[in-house]
Structure 1
Amino acid sequence: MSSNLFDSIRVKPRQKPEDKPKGPICEWEGCDKPAEHRAPKGRGAEGQFFQFCTEHVREYNKSFNYFAEMKDDEIADELKRQQQTGGRPTWQQSTNGSAKAKSAPRTARARNFQDTRFNDPLNLFARASRTRRQKPMTERELRMVEVDRRAFESLGFEGRANADEIRKRYKELVKKHHPDANGGDKASEERLRSIITAYNHLKSKGFLG
């Protein structure tokens, strides 16, 4: 039998079945990679998450702003609440949350004009409070001016700034140093606490009107 006949018959090779990804698929539009990471959906959807691949979770984190459309006072209140739960957003509420906050290590604290408490990790205002009790009135006034100056420096100002400039800088720094934008970096969390402390101090002194 002639082999030419068999040579003219082409056998179509078997195609290997495509490997289907195991687990969820990335929710980014047009992407079909495995979703290996979760990202919070944001305010109003606490406890709910998107599922993204490594590439798109990074893209999402760059643009994610939990504080979008929140007023300054709302941002300050939310950050205080987060500090009480260890400096992290409480995506999921639980009945044990308040107990955990009470058992958390105590740090130096100071009071503002409304007698509300906020973290003072550098003991900046605690030291100033002790100094006021120990020094004559003239030195007390100078110390308060120095504390104000340090608060402005914490927000990146070389001198006094107006209310609009303070609010704008505060929002920028909060977004930059928020844990969700820095993968939970401890140094960034400490920086965020000092920013909040400085902002609350300037607010209590009337620099925000």
Structure 2
Amino acid sequence: MRGSLRVCQHPRCQHPGEFRAPNPYGRPPGPNGPGDYLYFCLDHVREFNAGYDWFEGLTAEEIAAAQSPLNVWPSETRAFKANGGADSPPRWADFNDPLDAISTRFRKRMESVAPQPRSDGKFLSGEDRSALKTLGLGQDADRNAVRSAYSQLVRKYHPDKNGGDRTHEKALQDVIAAYTHLKTAPAFI
């Protein structure tokens, strides 16, 4: 609002009205527009904000719930597509033609972009699938199977368990990285 020719709407103030505040007596925001605002100078908008109480009329439990960091996203969101929607084949690539004249070009990409879903319906990202493969597990593995496979592979590759043999150090790092990723993956929480 800088450079605006508005004057502060506080009585007897002639400073520029650079800051807007909701007008409690004006038209509220809605489908027909943003609503009415009051325009104040910095000192008067601070005064207006100091008199505004967001929690007025709420109980202590309602205030605590509103201040909770978990309150910012009250519902679960759907998982995003693995490829983010970029470079996906055209809709006609799904066309099932008898000569495979159209869908042949995109078949391989469609199989890699849309792999078979898990039996429990949870989404697995490409990283999740890669980590499961590192642990030697299928896509329907649960948290207990991941933990068990991790324990077995650490015992197998760790130098303390195999006589000091460090040739499997890279495999051990891969197993640890895979488990670290999977234990925080949404499908295994």
TM-score by length of 1: 0.31
Larger radius of gyration, structure 1 or 2?
A: 2
TM-score by length of 2: 0.34
By relative contact order (CA 8 Å, sep 6+), the higher-ranking structure is 1
